[in-house]
Amino acid sequence: MLDTVDESLEELPPLPTVAPDGNEVALYYDITGRNELRVLDAETGDLEQ
């Protein structure tokens, strides 16, 4: 188990990352006061957790 929040953040992959087909972007988004993994639809702008 990780001792601190900082250690857990270091283990997260670097983002944003664009899908190979370019249709989606994975990113961390702080909408609730916590970084959450979200996927952005590049065509519609929809953001999903």
Q: Where are the domains of the chain?
A: 13-48
Structure confidence at residue 5 (pLDDT): 53
Global pTM reads: 0.67
pLDDT per residue as tens, the chain (49 positions): 445 555 566 676 788 999 999 999 999 988 888 889 999 999 999 999 9
CA 22 to CA 1: how far, in whole Å?
A: 35
CA 7 to CA 34: how far, in whole Å?
A: 15
Structure confidence at residue 6 (pLDDT): 56
